[in-house]
Amino acid sequence: MRPTATRCGSTSRTGRSGTRTPSAGWPSGRPTCGSSSRICSADDRGSRRRQNARLPIGAWTVKLEGRTALVTGGAHRVGARIALGLAEHGCNVVVHFHQARAEAEDTTRSIRERGVRAAQIQADLRDPVGVDHLFAEVDRLGWGLDVLVNSAAVLAPADLLAASLDDWSATIDLNLRAAFLCLQAAARRMQARGEGVIVNISDVAGRRPWRRYPIHSISKAGIDMLTRVAALALAPTVRVNGVAPGPVEKPAGMSDERWRAIGDALPLRRPGRAADVAAAVIFLIENDYLIGETIPVDGGDAIR
């Protein structure tokens, strides 16, 4: 997605011939309001400095307001928090769900309460037909598609040697194959529109395997490489990045005591929150110069 705001309000510079020519290397041109520039007046420069006082130096941002995002697995837990975070930034959101219809309805209602459009679409993404159905329904809405967040996933324990082909498929078909197919479908639409952003939700297990979850770890390592390969293939029209959460949202069946112990072992001394992941997703969408990166959101787990 192209930036919608620039510092100093200029997208060109004056060449030696006196004509205004685009500045190479900047998404919308290098700002020209420097101390040696005569294009902007001193009053203009002062006014624009005040307007952008809250922006970090060098920041080029993509505004989410009025955009449309699809969040797979967006009915509950981390996916729902991502969907709500996008809505809080003015983004219309399509919530995908498989079986969690009641949660999807609650999330969709909460999105609308934030003053943006929302829709929910049911689909089994383990089946390629379900992926086709999902994107056909997105097309039917007529909102376009600017952002895809690949969040749908399953976390299932397995024994590496005892695992069956069914065990393998149950995880790989959703965590990796469905993400690949959704990325393909979204990227084609984004290329036709001329811009777009995709964020894949990975896992720290993709970098440091979890003994009890070998297939899950393999699937997330695949997501990390999918992010890098797709970023290279789709740039500059479509930017692709990823987020790798650590211990976020207590798993069902885990005791509160065990969950606190996991958090206490981290450098930040707490487990993660879904809002931490949502903030990272929005950061990756809005920063127009980030591509092919998977950011760990793990409380320092990787540096212990």
Structural domains of the chain, ranges and CATH numbers in brackets: 7-51 (no CATH), 68-303 (3.40.50.720)
Dihedral sign, Cα of residue 299, residue 301, residue 302, residue 304: positive
CB 239 within 8 A of CB 1: yes
271 SS3 class = coil
In this prediction, residue 134 carries a pLDDT of 99
In this prediction, residue 63 carries a pLDDT of 86
In this prediction, residue 60 carries a pLDDT of 43
Please name the residue that has the structure tokens 């190479």: 24
In this prediction, residue 118 carries a pLDDT of 99
The gap between the terminal CA atoms of the chain, to the nearest Å, is: 36
| 151-208 per-position pLDDT tens digit | 999 999 999 999 999 999 999 999 999 999 999 999 999 999 999 999 999 999 999 9
What phi and psi values does residue 74 have, to the nearest 5 degrees? -90, 10
In this prediction, residue 61 carries a pLDDT of 55
| Type of residue at 125 | L
206 SS3 class = helix
- Going by C-beta distance under 8 Å and a sequence separation of 6 or more, which residues neighbour residue 87? 93, 110, 111, 114, 116, 118
Distance, in Å, from the CA atom of 171 to the CA atom of 153, rounded to the nearest integer, reads: 8
Per-residue tens of pLDDT for the chain, all 304 residues = 554 443 333 343 344 344 433 333 333 433 444 433 334 444 544 444 444 444 444 444 568 999 999 999 999 999 999 999 999 999 999 999 999 999 999 999 999 999 999 999 999 999 999 999 999 999 999 999 999 999 999 999 999 999 999 999 999 999 999 999 999 999 999 999 999 999 999 999 999 999 999 999 999 999 999 999 999 999 999 999 999 999 898 877 788 999 899 899 888 999 889 999 999 999 999 999 999 999 999 998 888 8
Dihedral sign, Cα of residue 138, residue 143, residue 146, residue 149: negative
| 55-64 per-position pLDDT tens digit | 444 444 568 9
Distance, in Å, from the CA atom of 122 to the CA atom of 74, rounded to the nearest integer, reads: 11
- Going by C-beta distance under 8 Å and a sequence separation of 6 or more, which residues neighbour residue 262? 247, 271
CB 265 within 8 A of CB 259: no
Dihedral sign, Cα of residue 51, residue 54, residue 60, residue 64: negative
In this prediction, residue 301 carries a pLDDT of 85
